Chain A
Amino acid sequence: MSDKQTKKEKMQILKELREQYADSVAKTQAHLKEQQSARRLLKKAMKTGPMTVPEIAEAVNLPSDEVLWHIVAMKKYDLVTEVGQDGEYYKYALPVKEKKS
């Protein structure tokens, strides 16, 4: 990195960038809010045990394709694990030692 920035300088740089990118930051924040509220619902539903995507979708009242996307995103970063199969669907569960997201 170009000469080490101090913590304070880094915060100042980020603050200026947030102003410069105000529109995209706002759009991404809205996306993140939706993501977080969906994840909260998913995690709550999945506390009852391993579930398939259609089961989760029904429990949280979200479209099953969206649920699938959240599950694969969480699986990628070790926030969900796949635990066997139930007929044509795989079952997913929260990791035993639940990590914070």
Chain B
Amino acid sequence: MATNKIKVDALVVGGGISGMQTALDLADQGYQVALVEKEASIGGKMIALSKVFPTLDCCSCITTPKMSAVAHQENITLLTYCEVDHIKQNGKGFIVGATNKPRYVDMDLCTGCRQCEYVCPVDLKNPFDNNLGAIRAIRVPFSTAVPQKVVLDIDNCILCGKCQTACAVDAIDFTQQPEEIMIETDSILLATGFEVTPKDAKKEYGNGKLLNVIDGLDMERLLAPTGPYGHVLRPSDGKEPDSIAYVQCAGSRDETLGVEYCSRVCCMYAIKQAMLLSGALPLADITIYYMDIRAFGKGYEQFYQNAKAMGIQFIKGKVAKIKEDENQNPVFRVEMVDEGGSVVEHTHDLAVLSVGMLPSFDPTPIFNVPNDTDGFIMTPDQNFSASLTMIPGIFAAGAATGPMDIVDSIMTAGSAASAASAYIKSQQNGKEESSSKIADLQKESQHA
């Protein structure tokens, strides 16, 4: 295995909005930064969303410039399709071993023309569309991917070589092997983000088996201009739904799933989607079944009130069960809280589960960074320095530290970058500064 070596001031792990912002904030101050992203493109969850609450800005329009800023910032070394395997303490800093997975494409030669993608015979479910749409075995991951280069899915390829023949610049290279990279760094910033509640988590809601019971991320893709169907259609038969219903807290504040916390974004994204749906499907009835609506951020309560004024129905009720009728319509069994707890059945065309946020990556085995009881990265100094982890020199930002929206992700990214900047300076000037604070906290937690 060939080994490349790089030396940086900061290594950022995860290229979602939090990681991108952290990397940019550090690079703009003159620090050398390496950004490692496990997928073939940066962008994280945000690049797959339709529009953002509460401003209703187009997500792709605001995320794409950030992605290209990362690619063009000369102080950032961007390593996509790459994962950290191990780290070693190196004095006050770290030596990090990462592996670049083979894309089977020469990144210097590929122009992103997609000729190879067009000739490839194999259509697969498209992970970028949450498997609702299709994509080829060799593909540019999505239209605004950064880098704009193809990746070949060797595990779902018949190795026919058609792509290689079609490529005018001879960029496809089946001899590529994993490449090891050694990164020497003073600091590490974890921005590994979140996953949503798995579709099969709630058996009351069909165990993920009912085609017309989708989740919030599916709906983001259906609403996005680049979405799989080009319209909001239901997956069972392509029907334009006349009646769409949301189930709030589907996977959050739920002891049976071991998720006791509120995911903080589901109320707001459901309201946002409901508003976008009433624009896309003006005749459709849109209902949100909820226990309470949490609209805590700046402008959020107004956003909620606007949704009500637009005619979106908010029903205080507990959805006990969803089954389907003979036409695959989801049938809700609802306990109506405002009607004395009476139980009714409502049939809709499409159901959307407002799924919650779960941690996506466990940093403990590799980075030795402990997690909190909720499974997200432990940030012991929540009040004064929320980006510190229990390990000196390792910081955390964004949804990797707990459920949060984009506004808060960007704020924590800025805070992590400034804490890391202070740390790097203190290390490079030979002073111990922020590390002593962590030492105190570590001691405290050991005694607790």
Contact = CB atoms under 8 A, between A and B. Distances in A.
Contacts, number: 101
A76 B125 CA distance: 12
Interface string B202-231: 000000000100000000000000001111
A73 interface: yes
A90 B233 contact: yes
Contact of A64 (B170, B173, B229, B236): B236
Interface string A13-37: 1100110010011001101100110
Interface in B75-134: 106, 109, 118, 121-123, 125, 132-134
Interface stretch (B45-53, B150-158, B256-264): B150-158
Nearest to A57: B237
Contacts of B137: 28
A64 B238 contact: yes
A69 B109 contact: no
A73 B242 CA distance: 25
B235 interface: yes
A1 B134 contact: no
A72 B237 contact: no
B366 to A, nearest CB: 28
Contacts of B287: none
A86 to B, nearest CB: 11
A28 B235 contact: no
B221 to A, nearest CB: 11
A98 interface: no
A13 B156 CA distance: 18
Interface string B128-164: 0000111111000000000000000011111111001
Nearest to B137: A28
A57 B211 CA distance: 16
B238 A71 contact: yes
Q: What does DSSP make chain A's interface, helix, strand, loop or mixed? A: helix
Contacts of A17: 154, 159, 174
Contacts of B134: 69, 72-73, 76
A46 to B, nearest CB: 14
B228 A90 contact: no
A45 interface: no
A85 B230 CA distance: 13
B407 interface: no
B291 interface: no
Interface of A: 1-2, 4-5, 10-11, 13-14, 17-18, 21, 24-25, 28-29, 31-32, 35-36, 52-54, 57, 64-65, 68-69, 71-73, 75-77, 82, 85, 88-90, 101
Query: Closest 8 interchain pairs by CB?
Result: A73-B134, A53-B238, A64-B237, A73-B123, A68-B238, A1-B173, A88-B240, A18-B159
11 contacts: A1-B106, A11-B161, A14-B161, A14-B174, A25-B158, A32-B158, A65-B237, A68-B229, A72-B133, A72-B228, A77-B118
